[in-house]
Structure 1
Amino acid sequence: MRLKPTRIRELLANIAIAAVIAWVATRLAYGSFPPISTIAGASLYPVAALEAVLGFYIRARVSNSQIGADRRQLHPITVARALALAKASAQVGSLVAGVWLGFLLWIFPQRGDLRAADADYPGVLIGCGAGIALAVAALWLEHCCRAPDDPSDEPAPS
């Protein structure tokens, strides 16, 4: 069985489903939510940054043929683990972006009427951006973990 790249439409479906659920929950229970700080929304940015840097590192190693079992090479299992991290992070990032988007869709129209919505708005925007950043960084890392195409057994044309 071959591992397939993460599909963008699956991530968009995650965002849509999570946004609807979060919008309904926010509509029903916003008064009982604690205040949303900007730090709560920003918690995934460091993870996204680390995954992006890891993608550049792995990409450089793959392009220089430095993947292998030698001590000076990047072990293939390490690349496989990075790929598993990327696939999981893409799902988490899309779901988190969807939840924050659901909050945003309820909070944005309420901003002029509710002080709490005004106060929560920056944190919600930052959180939505963090989810998107994580998903994008995960897709980048996944792309960087791809094996180069195997050379064909046919001779090169002269």
Structure 2
Amino acid sequence: MGPTRRRDLAAAALLTAAVAYVLLLVLYRWFPPLTVWTGVSLLAVAIAEAGWAFYLRNKINEGEIGVGSGRVHPLAVARSVVIAKASAWVGAPVLGWWVGVLVYLLPRRSTMRVAAEDTAGAAVAAACALALVVAALWLQHCCKSPGEPPENANGATD
């Protein structure tokens, strides 16, 4: 299993944004109101993952230097990688969805009152989804062993 490629995540986000925009052209009138709390649950997961990443990184680095226990069970690291990959692959389409919503709402803010009201909630949700993707990629990066070569050392492109 290799590292999650950012270009694949970007492609998933862009494809989802395009689908979201097309769906909103037809279905926006039936959407419930968007509040600033709409996407905050993603931020909670992102904060938890980032905290776990810093903890793991510190434990792995302690083991390299020989200070403290510095031992992390390999299965815990493997599970962390799986969580990081899953979070990145959930966060990217969710980010795409909210970007699609924003692309739909921003030009309509001056003509539709409800679009102006929904813009803040969609922007917060998009930012929280972006935070989830960034935290997931950071967690995945922190799960590498210290002696491991960089991701693109074998000439693979990102």
Which TM-score bucket, shorter chain as reference?
0.7 to 0.9
Name the larger-Rg structure. Answer: 1
Q: Which amino acid aligns with 1:45?
A: L
TM-score in terms of structure 2 length: 0.87
Unaligned 5+ runs, structure 1: 151-158
Residue 96 of structure 2 corresponds to residue 113 of structure 1 = no
Aligned partner of 1:89 among 87, 90, 103: 87
**Equivalence map 1:73-84=2 (5 Å):** 73-84=71-82
Please give the secondary structure, in 1, of the residue aligned with 2:110: coil
Q: Distance in 2 between matches of 1:82 and 1:146?
A: 11
Alpha-carbon shift at residue 60 of structure 1 (Å): 0.6
Alpha-carbon shift at residue 72 of structure 1 (Å): 7.9
Q: Deviation string for 1:15-70 (max 9, x for gaps)? A: 1011001101111110000101111122200100010010000001111118xxxx
Aligned partner of 1:136 among 128, 134, 137: 134
| Greater CA drift, 73-82 or 5-14 | 73-82
- Equivalence for 2:152: none
**Equivalence map 1:1-150=2 (5 Å):** 3-65=1-63, 73-149=71-147
Structure 1 runs (4+) greater than 6 angstroms displaced: none
Q: Distance in 2 between matches of 1:109 and 1:92?
A: 27
Please give the secondary structure, in 1, of the residue aligned with 2:38: helix
CA contact (8 A) 2:40 2:125 kept: yes
Give the CA RMSD over aligned residues: 1.5
Q: Distance in 1 between matches of 2:77 and 2:118?
A: 39
Unaligned 5+ runs, structure 2: 149-158
- Equivalence for 2:155: none
Identity over the aligned pairs, expressed in percent? 40
Q: Which amino acid aligns with 1:20?
A: A
CA contact (8 A) 2:60 2:71 kept: no
Alpha-carbon shift at residue 124 of structure 1 (Å): 0.3
